[in-house]
Amino acid sequence: MHVLTLILAEAVSAILCFALVRFMMKPYEVLGESRYIGLPLGFGFLGTSYIFMGLALYFESFPFIEEIKWLQLFTQAYAFAFLATTYYFSKKPYDRTRLWWNIAYAGLAFATVISYLIAFEPPMFELPSYKTVDEYFRLFNTICLTYITVHTLRSHTSQPDPKTIWIPLSYLLLGFSQYSLLIWSLDSSFSAFVGAHLLRLTSLLVFLFVAYQAFYGTRAAPLAEGILDEEASSQR
């Protein structure tokens, strides 16, 4: 793929993610529960990771290009970690799990700061190669997205609705995108590389449509339940 095409794909992906941040803020604003801040944080980190990758592609001779690539890895991993953590706690009683959510949130925030310091202030010991770490991060991202897909699919099957199936499908496509990038990293498959970008854009477009319908459409309640789980939507 041409570099300009890749940069455009990263830019469009970032725009879609930041549009999703606007919609994902609504549950937090309505419910006022700190655990739902993970949704906008997750998509915000995800959009930021695509910006970092776009910058890395555009400024190939930039002095801090390696640091930007590492930031992209860390930021994207934390995006999926925040989303997975949010979905994990979403079906649990908030009063009983508030402390654990705050601990998990603080741990992720602390890890975020430490990883960014590592990117710009490397430790005394030698870090693994970028390619090796990238493969492990892709695997981690795929695991997080697999969990989210299963979680949202269970919510859909507990209260079947034709429209809520698009929510786990969106996460599934995003997971396949990460898996395709892992395959590309291992064997340099061009089709996997192209497919990863197409799957990602399709996933984000579908999720944006679902999010809009969930919070502004005529059948908002079922879709909102699919995104937030039954407990959250019942409290609105």
pLDDT in tens, 116-147: 776 666 655 566 787 888 899 999 999 999 99
Residue 232 has pLDDT above 60, yes or no: no
46 exposure class (CB count in 10 Å sphere: 0-12, 13-18, 19+): buried
CATH topology of domain 3-234: Rhopdopsin 7-helix transmembrane proteins (1.20.1070)
Cβ density class 73-99: b for 16+ within 10 Å, e for less: bbbbbbbbbbbbbbbbbbbeebeebee
Between 51-60, 69-78, 88-97, the lowest mean confidence (pLDDT) is in 88-97
Mean pLDDT of 148-175: 86
How does residue 93 score in pLDDT terms, banded at 50, 70 and 90? low
List Cα–Cα distances, 96 to 81, 92, 134, 198, in angstroms: 21, 8, 36, 41
**Which pLDDT score is estimated for 10?**
95
113 exposure class (CB count in 10 Å sphere: 0-12, 13-18, 19+): exposed
Mean pLDDT of 47-72: 86
Mean pLDDT computed over every residue of the chain: 81
Mean pLDDT of 179-204: 91
- The winner for highest mean pLDDT among 29-33, 117-121, 153-157, 214-218 is 153-157
